[in-house]
């Protein structure tokens, strides 16, 4: 069974500049606006494309395939190794068909890259070819030690993919490869004509991959391969093969049965108790740009777009303030206060005072992995506890001076107004503490409001980053003291649901859940790699901090599919008492949980003193509990 390698550390990230060919359509120029199969008319007859800034490239079906291919090949070459760089880009496809049977469009996706269709439905944009992510091969001149464990930060959404491998070798022709790990989402896809593989088995090993997320998609037969944990939500799948440690399905037509857990380790929920799909940018039949905000749904399964447009509301792009990284926060806040929504174009935004979202039903949509970086200890994003607020597609980074929190939802002791029928929603919201630069925060994500949906997040205190800036003479000892993050996620609100909660490497509890009636569907956690000594990893009289802590006073909580992993790279003698820690009450239920040792350190018990040790005598072999209590 595949396990993580001894470490994830890389050499210095290469900071390439993004090169675009002149074949790409400038984002402030008019482009065709016809329906999927219509040829573009005269430029004077077509609505102008909104100015989405220099880091958005919009393709039109009238463009030669060779020009589109050249643009995307150059982008991949620039971004394939640019893990800790600052370049962000979105490549958007207007409705129509791209690629042909003889000349398919074969796309490879690198870091901080979004590939998305601009149709009202995924079937409005059809790519005949492939959209892929391969392993990175880190030794022997790029031919060995091939893994996907650090293939982070990329997005694929809202299009149909007709798999066409013309011109590829025999192995590459066997599937569309999407070998990725955290902070990568696939949404609103219709894939046919070939299989989907979530690992890359065409390179030299070890071929490890470490987790991902799919929602609202129609999938072919899918090979999970070496993916250690994965959530597929509200989708359709023809078949699913293989599982490693923790594979979760919620509301998926065709999902595998989980009666044999833990062999195989599937967790299957017939329906998803609460969902709301991520907002998306699209071009309507008149060529006008709009944002569709999907409706809240309960107890559902399958895709939202199978019988028509995804239920929800449409907001004209003119109702958004389209922000660029150069826009001051006071300008952004002024526009939000006027009642406008916010679209964050790709780039890195230095935020020295909070972006304040205070009005109900406000949409904050980032494209191309727009990133907010805290400056001078600021809280980059502060969301009032108002109903219907949606934050999607945004990455939030800690800065050099410690922030109290990176994203706060609702006030800790104030009035919060989010409702059951119109919850606050966070979709594809990612956090980093360290990595591209020094980062410090007390807490990454703090949820104080009731009725909040967290639909896919990765909350990461970096286990690796740009070499040299914290290593010093003591290696990870310096990292432990320099890149500081005590808590990953703290949930104080009631009736909070998380679908796809990935939290890693924080220095106390990675997740603390104090609110009542909370629900998590797939929880993935790695404990920190870098405590220097047991004294640094000690909670009162207890060795270490549980990866998932439910508050002692909580009476009702549910978790489906959870894993806590240990790799105490800095000091393999360190022990952690429990992977999970919860109050023992009838209303607190953990379903299909596990711990695993990745070759250093020990977790003594799965939960509350129950379960065998995940120690050095069973590296890579999980300790499972089907149910607790």
Catalytic positions are 526
Contact 322, 289 (CB under 8 A): no
Pick from 47, 3, 38: which is nearest to 290 by CA?
A: 47
Number of C-beta neighbours around residue 494 at 10 A: 17
| Opening angle at CA 457, ends 451 and 459, nearest 5 | 115
Residues facing residue 114 across a β-bridge: 90, 155
Backbone dihedral angles phi then psi of residue 234, each to the nearest 5 degrees = 45, 65
The answer to whether the CB of 603 falls within 8 A of the CB of 619 is no
Largest CA distance in the chain: 74
What is d(CA 433, CA 480) in angstroms, rounded to the nearest whole number? 11
10 Å CB burial of residue 299 (0-12, 13-18, 19+) is exposed
**Could you give the CA distance from residue 197 to residue 467 in angstroms, rounded to a whole number?**
32
396 three-class SS: strand
Choose among 488, 548, 492, 487: nearest CA to 515: 492
User: What are the backbone angles phi and psi of residue 318, rounded to the nearest 5°?
Assistant: -65, -15
Question: How large is the C-alpha radius of gyration of the chain?
Answer: 23
Residues 559 and 589: beta-carbon distance below 8 Å: yes
Classify burial at 305, counting beta carbons within 10 Å of its beta carbon; exposed 0-12, middle 13-18, buried 19 or more: buried
Calculate the CA dihedral of residues 178, 180, 184, 187 and round it to 10 degrees: 20
What's the token pair of residue 13?
């990230």
Torsion of the alpha carbons at 183, 187, 191 and 195, rounded to the nearest 10: 30
User: What is the rounded distance in angstroms from the CA atom of residue 291 to the CA atom of residue 230?
Assistant: 28
Length of the chain: 629
């Amino acid at each position: 069974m595949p396990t993580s390698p001894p470490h994830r550390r890389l050499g210095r990230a290469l900071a390439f500049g993004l090169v675009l060919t002149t074949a790409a359509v400038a984002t402030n120029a008019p482009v065709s606006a016809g329906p999927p199969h219509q040829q573009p008319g005269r430029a004077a007859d077509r609505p102008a494309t909104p100015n989405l800034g220099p880091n958005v490239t919009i393709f039109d079906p009238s463009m030669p395939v060779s020009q589109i291919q050249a643009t995307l090949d150059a982008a991949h070459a620039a971004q394939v190794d640019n893990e800790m760089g600052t370049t962000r880009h979105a490549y958007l496809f207007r409705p129509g068909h791209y690629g042909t049977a003889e000349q398919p469009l074969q796309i490879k996706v690198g870091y901080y890259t979004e590939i998305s269709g601009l149709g009202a439905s995924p079937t409005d944009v059809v790519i005949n070819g492939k959209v892929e992510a391969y392993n990175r091969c880190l030794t022997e001149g790029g031919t060995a030690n091939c893994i996907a464990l650090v293939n982070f930060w990329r997005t694929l959404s809202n299009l149909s993919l007709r798999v066409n491998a013309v011109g590829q070798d025999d192995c590459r022709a066997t599937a569309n490869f999407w070998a990725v790990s955290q902070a990568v989402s696939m949404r609103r896809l219709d894939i046919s004509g070939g299989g989907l593989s979530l690992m890359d088995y065409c390179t030299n090993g070890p071929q490890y991959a470490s987790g991902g997320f799919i929602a609202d998609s129609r999938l072919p037969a899918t090979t999970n391969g070496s993916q250690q944990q994965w959530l597929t939500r509200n989708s359709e799948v023809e078949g699913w093969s293989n599982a490693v440690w923790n594979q979760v399905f919620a509301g998926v037509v065709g999902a595998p049965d989980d009666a044999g857990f833990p062999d195989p380790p599937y967790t299957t929920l017939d329906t998803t108790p609460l969902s709301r799909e991520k907002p998306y940018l699209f071009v309507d039949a008149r060529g006008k740009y709009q944002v569709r905000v999907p409706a809240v749904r309960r107890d559902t399964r399958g895709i939202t777009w199978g019988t028509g447009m995804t239920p929800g509301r449409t907001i004209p792009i003119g109702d958004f303030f389209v922000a660029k990284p150069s826009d001051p926060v006071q300008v952004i806040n002024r526009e939000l206060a006027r009642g406008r929504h916010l679209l964050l174009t790709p780039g890195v935004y230095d935020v020295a005072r909070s972006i304040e979202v205070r009005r109900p039903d406000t949409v904050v949509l980032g494209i191309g992995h727009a990133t907010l970086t805290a400056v001078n200890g600021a809280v980059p994003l502060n969301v009032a506890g108002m109903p219907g607020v949606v934050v999607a597609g945004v990455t939030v980074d800690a800065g050099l001076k410690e922030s109290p929190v990176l994203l706060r939802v609702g006030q800790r002791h104030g009035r919060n107004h989010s409702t059951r029928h119109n919850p606050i929603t966070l979709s594809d919201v990612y956090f980093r503490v360290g990595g591209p630069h020094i980062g410090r925060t007390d807490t990454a994500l703090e949820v104080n409001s009731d009725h909040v949906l967290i639909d896919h997040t990765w909350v990461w205190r970096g286990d690796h980053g740009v070499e040299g800036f914290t290593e010093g003479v003591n290696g990870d000892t310096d990292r432990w003291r320099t890149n500081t993050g005590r808590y990953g996620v703290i949930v104080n609100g009631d009736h909070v649901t998380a679908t796809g909660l990935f939290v890693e490497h924080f220095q106390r509890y990675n997740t603390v859940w104090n609110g009542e009636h909370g629900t998590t569907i797939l929880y993935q956690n790695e404990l920190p790699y870098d405590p220097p000594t047991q004294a640094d990893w000690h909670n009162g009289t207890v060795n270490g901090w549980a990866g998932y802590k439910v508050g002692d006073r909580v009476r009702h909580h549910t978790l489906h599919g959870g894993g806590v992993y240990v790799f105490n790279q800095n000091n393999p003698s360190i022990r952690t008492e429990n992977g999970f820690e919860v109050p023992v009450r009838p209303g607190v239920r953990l379903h299909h949980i596990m711990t695993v040792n990745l070759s250093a350190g020990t977790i003594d018990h799965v939960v509350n003193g129950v379960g065998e040790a995940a120690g050095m005598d069973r590296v890579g072999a999980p300790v499972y509990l089907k149910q607790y209590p």
